Amino acid sequence: MADPVLLSVDGHVLTITLNRPEQLNALSRKAMTFFEKTVRALGDFSGVRAVIITGAGRAFCAGGDLIGFKRAIDVDKQALLDELAYNQTILQMIEDIPVPVIGAANGVAAAGGLELLLCCDIVLAAKNAKIGDGHARYAIVPAGGATVRLPRKIGPANAARLFYTAELVDAETMRDWGLVSEVVPGDKLLERAQALASDIARGSPEVLRRIKKLISARAGEPVTGLAEIGQFAEHVNGADLDEGLRAFIEKRTPDY
Protein backbone atom coordinates (compact mmCIF):
# COMPACT_ATOMS: atom_id res chain seq x y z
CA MET A 1 0.00 0.00 0.00
CA ALA A 2 1.12 3.56 -0.71
CA ASP A 3 2.29 5.65 2.21
CA PRO A 4 -0.56 7.86 3.50
CA VAL A 5 1.83 10.83 3.73
CA LEU A 6 4.55 11.65 1.20
CA LEU A 7 7.62 13.84 1.69
CA SER A 8 9.75 15.72 -0.78
CA VAL A 9 12.52 18.25 -0.27
CA ASP A 10 13.48 20.89 -2.81
CA GLY A 11 16.25 23.18 -1.61
CA HIS A 12 15.13 24.65 1.70
CA VAL A 13 11.46 23.65 1.26
CA LEU A 14 9.87 20.45 2.60
CA THR A 15 6.53 19.44 1.08
CA ILE A 16 4.19 17.09 2.97
CA THR A 17 1.43 15.56 0.83
CA LEU A 18 -1.55 13.69 2.24
CA ASN A 19 -1.77 10.65 0.01
CA ARG A 20 -5.12 8.89 0.46
CA PRO A 21 -6.93 10.39 -2.56
CA GLU A 22 -9.55 7.64 -2.75
CA GLN A 23 -10.55 8.45 0.84
CA LEU A 24 -10.31 12.21 0.20
CA ASN A 25 -7.18 12.18 2.38
CA ALA A 26 -9.10 11.39 5.56
CA LEU A 27 -6.82 11.40 8.60
CA SER A 28 -6.42 7.77 9.58
CA ARG A 29 -4.29 6.64 12.54
CA LYS A 30 -1.60 5.60 10.08
CA ALA A 31 -1.63 9.04 8.48
CA MET A 32 -1.33 10.74 11.86
CA THR A 33 1.54 8.44 12.81
CA PHE A 34 3.33 9.42 9.59
CA PHE A 35 2.76 13.07 10.48
CA GLU A 36 4.30 12.49 13.88
CA LYS A 37 7.37 10.81 12.37
CA THR A 38 7.71 13.60 9.83
CA VAL A 39 7.52 16.40 12.36
CA ARG A 40 9.94 14.63 14.70
CA ALA A 41 12.32 14.10 11.77
CA LEU A 42 12.37 17.79 10.83
CA GLY A 43 15.49 18.16 12.90
CA ASP A 44 17.21 15.80 10.44
CA PHE A 45 16.40 18.25 7.62
CA SER A 46 18.57 21.00 9.07
CA GLY A 47 18.32 23.13 5.93
CA VAL A 48 14.50 23.30 5.88
CA ARG A 49 13.25 26.88 6.19
CA ALA A 50 9.63 26.43 5.09
CA VAL A 51 7.09 23.60 4.96
CA ILE A 52 4.16 23.09 2.57
CA ILE A 53 1.22 20.83 3.46
CA THR A 54 -1.13 19.80 0.64
CA GLY A 55 -3.25 16.89 -0.55
CA ALA A 56 -3.16 14.45 -3.44
CA GLY A 57 -6.15 14.19 -5.75
CA ARG A 58 -9.25 16.36 -5.55
CA ALA A 59 -9.35 16.97 -1.79
CA PHE A 60 -7.06 18.55 0.75
CA CYS A 61 -8.51 16.55 3.63
CA ALA A 62 -12.13 15.58 4.23
CA GLY A 63 -11.61 15.12 7.97
CA GLY A 64 -11.20 12.20 10.30
CA ASP A 65 -11.73 8.56 9.38
CA LEU A 66 -15.34 8.17 10.53
CA ILE A 67 -15.45 4.51 9.52
CA GLY A 68 -12.56 3.96 11.88
CA PHE A 69 -14.40 6.01 14.53
CA LYS A 70 -17.44 3.74 14.28
CA ARG A 71 -15.33 0.60 14.63
CA ALA A 72 -13.56 2.08 17.65
CA ILE A 73 -16.83 3.03 19.37
CA ASP A 74 -18.22 -0.46 18.83
CA VAL A 75 -15.09 -2.07 20.30
CA ASP A 76 -13.67 0.32 22.92
CA LYS A 77 -14.92 3.86 23.55
CA GLN A 78 -11.90 4.73 25.66
CA ALA A 79 -9.63 3.73 22.78
CA LEU A 80 -11.42 6.30 20.60
CA LEU A 81 -10.92 9.00 23.22
CA ASP A 82 -7.24 8.08 23.40
CA GLU A 83 -7.07 8.31 19.61
CA LEU A 84 -8.60 11.79 19.61
CA ALA A 85 -6.15 12.95 22.28
CA TYR A 86 -3.29 11.57 20.19
CA ASN A 87 -4.55 13.40 17.09
CA GLN A 88 -4.76 16.65 19.02
CA THR A 89 -1.17 16.19 20.16
CA ILE A 90 -0.01 15.71 16.57
CA LEU A 91 -1.91 18.79 15.37
CA GLN A 92 -0.23 20.81 18.11
CA MET A 93 3.13 19.46 16.96
CA ILE A 94 2.32 20.65 13.43
CA GLU A 95 1.40 24.12 14.72
CA ASP A 96 4.65 24.15 16.71
CA ILE A 97 6.89 23.37 13.72
CA PRO A 98 9.58 26.03 14.21
CA VAL A 99 9.64 27.22 10.58
CA PRO A 100 6.79 28.82 8.58
CA VAL A 101 4.17 26.35 7.36
CA ILE A 102 2.04 26.95 4.26
CA GLY A 103 -1.23 25.07 3.88
CA ALA A 104 -2.13 24.58 0.21
CA ALA A 105 -5.81 23.62 0.11
CA ASN A 106 -6.21 21.96 -3.27
CA GLY A 107 -9.84 20.95 -2.67
CA VAL A 108 -12.31 20.33 0.13
CA ALA A 109 -10.97 20.86 3.66
CA ALA A 110 -13.55 19.87 6.24
CA ALA A 111 -13.53 19.05 9.97
CA GLY A 112 -10.09 17.49 10.54
CA GLY A 113 -8.93 19.08 7.28
CA LEU A 114 -9.94 22.49 8.59
CA GLU A 115 -8.20 21.69 11.88
CA LEU A 116 -5.04 20.92 9.93
CA LEU A 117 -5.23 24.20 7.98
CA LEU A 118 -5.67 26.08 11.25
CA CYS A 119 -2.25 24.81 12.33
CA CYS A 120 -0.61 26.44 9.29
CA ASP A 121 0.87 29.94 9.33
CA ILE A 122 -0.30 30.85 5.82
CA VAL A 123 -3.13 29.25 3.83
CA LEU A 124 -3.39 29.31 0.04
CA ALA A 125 -6.52 27.84 -1.54
CA ALA A 126 -7.49 26.68 -5.01
CA LYS A 127 -10.45 28.56 -6.49
CA ASN A 128 -12.58 25.43 -6.33
CA ALA A 129 -11.70 24.65 -2.71
CA LYS A 130 -14.46 24.42 -0.13
CA ILE A 131 -13.62 24.83 3.54
CA GLY A 132 -15.76 24.23 6.60
CA ASP A 133 -16.49 22.22 9.71
CA GLY A 134 -18.70 19.15 9.32
CA HIS A 135 -18.58 17.82 12.88
CA ALA A 136 -22.17 18.71 13.78
CA ARG A 137 -23.56 16.97 10.69
CA TYR A 138 -22.26 13.59 11.84
CA ALA A 139 -22.64 14.11 15.61
CA ILE A 140 -18.92 14.48 16.28
CA VAL A 141 -17.68 16.94 18.92
CA PRO A 142 -14.66 18.85 17.53
CA ALA A 143 -11.54 17.49 19.22
CA GLY A 144 -8.64 18.86 17.19
CA GLY A 145 -8.45 22.36 18.63
CA ALA A 146 -10.74 24.08 16.13
CA THR A 147 -12.99 25.65 18.79
CA VAL A 148 -9.92 27.52 20.04
CA ARG A 149 -8.12 28.29 16.79
CA LEU A 150 -10.99 29.06 14.39
CA PRO A 151 -12.49 32.04 16.31
CA ARG A 152 -9.01 33.56 16.49
CA LYS A 153 -8.61 33.23 12.71
CA ILE A 154 -12.02 34.34 11.42
CA GLY A 155 -13.79 35.86 14.43
CA PRO A 156 -16.34 34.34 16.81
CA ALA A 157 -19.43 34.99 14.65
CA ASN A 158 -18.05 33.42 11.47
CA ALA A 159 -16.62 30.53 13.47
CA ALA A 160 -19.97 29.91 15.14
CA ARG A 161 -21.66 29.87 11.74
CA LEU A 162 -19.28 27.22 10.43
CA PHE A 163 -19.58 25.07 13.55
CA TYR A 164 -23.37 25.24 13.79
CA THR A 165 -24.29 24.90 10.10
CA ALA A 166 -21.54 22.46 9.05
CA GLU A 167 -21.57 24.23 5.68
CA LEU A 168 -18.65 24.32 3.27
CA VAL A 169 -17.66 27.86 2.31
CA ASP A 170 -15.93 28.91 -0.91
CA ALA A 171 -12.29 29.97 -0.92
CA GLU A 172 -13.02 33.63 -1.70
CA THR A 173 -15.28 33.92 1.34
CA MET A 174 -12.63 32.32 3.51
CA ARG A 175 -10.15 34.85 2.16
CA ASP A 176 -12.52 37.67 3.11
CA TRP A 177 -12.94 36.17 6.59
CA GLY A 178 -9.18 35.95 7.09
CA LEU A 179 -8.40 32.23 7.06
CA VAL A 180 -7.10 32.15 3.48
CA SER A 181 -4.30 34.48 2.43
CA GLU A 182 -4.61 34.00 -1.32
CA VAL A 183 -6.92 32.23 -3.80
CA VAL A 184 -5.11 30.65 -6.74
CA PRO A 185 -6.23 28.74 -9.87
CA GLY A 186 -6.17 25.05 -9.02
CA ASP A 187 -3.52 24.15 -11.59
CA LYS A 188 -1.22 26.88 -10.20
CA LEU A 189 -1.68 26.20 -6.48
CA LEU A 190 1.38 24.08 -5.75
CA GLU A 191 3.55 26.26 -8.01
CA ARG A 192 2.41 29.35 -6.08
CA ALA A 193 2.97 27.63 -2.72
CA GLN A 194 6.48 26.64 -3.78
CA ALA A 195 7.25 30.17 -4.96
CA LEU A 196 6.01 31.63 -1.68
CA ALA A 197 8.00 29.07 0.31
CA SER A 198 11.10 29.93 -1.72
CA ASP A 199 10.57 33.63 -1.00
CA ILE A 200 10.34 32.84 2.70
CA ALA A 201 13.42 30.62 2.55
CA ARG A 202 15.52 33.53 1.30
CA GLY A 203 15.14 35.21 4.67
CA SER A 204 17.28 34.66 7.73
CA PRO A 205 16.51 31.18 9.11
CA GLU A 206 17.30 32.37 12.63
CA VAL A 207 14.87 35.29 12.35
CA LEU A 208 12.15 33.16 10.72
CA ARG A 209 12.20 30.84 13.72
CA ARG A 210 12.19 33.71 16.22
CA ILE A 211 9.31 35.52 14.48
CA LYS A 212 7.27 32.30 14.43
CA LYS A 213 7.95 31.79 18.13
CA LEU A 214 6.80 35.35 18.86
CA ILE A 215 3.65 35.06 16.76
CA SER A 216 2.73 31.72 18.34
CA ALA A 217 3.36 32.96 21.88
CA ARG A 218 1.17 36.03 21.41
CA ALA A 219 -1.85 34.32 19.83
CA GLY A 220 -4.93 35.54 21.66
CA GLU A 221 -2.91 37.55 24.20
CA PRO A 222 -2.40 41.32 24.64
CA VAL A 223 0.39 42.70 22.47
CA THR A 224 3.61 43.53 24.29
CA GLY A 225 7.10 44.20 23.01
CA LEU A 226 8.85 42.52 25.93
CA ALA A 227 8.93 39.11 24.26
CA GLU A 228 10.35 40.69 21.11
CA ILE A 229 13.17 42.30 23.07
CA GLY A 230 13.87 38.96 24.73
CA GLN A 231 14.12 37.20 21.39
CA PHE A 232 16.36 39.96 20.02
CA ALA A 233 18.62 39.66 23.06
CA GLU A 234 19.12 35.97 22.25
CA HIS A 235 19.59 36.75 18.56
CA VAL A 236 22.03 39.66 18.80
CA ASN A 237 25.15 37.48 18.78
CA GLY A 238 23.93 35.23 15.95
CA ALA A 239 25.64 34.81 12.59
CA ASP A 240 22.53 35.77 10.60
CA LEU A 241 22.31 39.25 12.11
CA ASP A 242 25.93 39.99 11.27
CA GLU A 243 25.49 38.69 7.70
CA GLY A 244 22.25 40.61 7.18
CA LEU A 245 23.74 43.90 8.28
CA ARG A 246 26.93 43.39 6.28
CA ALA A 247 24.88 42.58 3.16
CA PHE A 248 22.83 45.77 3.61
CA ILE A 249 25.93 47.91 4.00
CA GLU A 250 27.67 46.20 1.06
CA LYS A 251 24.50 46.42 -1.08
CA ARG A 252 24.33 42.71 -1.85
CA THR A 253 22.00 39.77 -1.24
CA PRO A 254 22.52 38.09 2.16
CA ASP A 255 23.96 34.58 2.13
CA TYR A 256 22.36 32.74 5.06
Q: Give the residue numbers marked as catalytic.
A: 115
Long-range contacts (CB closer than 8 Å, 24 or more residues apart) made by 185-191: 185/126, 185/127, 186/106, 186/126, 186/127, 186/128, 189/54, 189/104, 189/106, 189/124, 189/125, 189/126, 190/52, 190/54, 190/104, 190/106
**Residues ≥6 apart with Cβ < 8 Å to 99:** 42, 48, 49, 50, 51, 205, 208, 209, 212
Buried b (16+ CB within 10 A) or exposed e, 70-88: eebeeeeeeebeebbeebe
Cα torsion angle, 173, 174, 175, 178, sign: positive
**Residues ≥6 apart with Cβ < 8 Å to 213:** 98, 231
Provide the CA 227 distance to its chain's centre, in angstroms: 24
CA–CA gap between residue 139 and residue 201 (Å, rounded)? 42
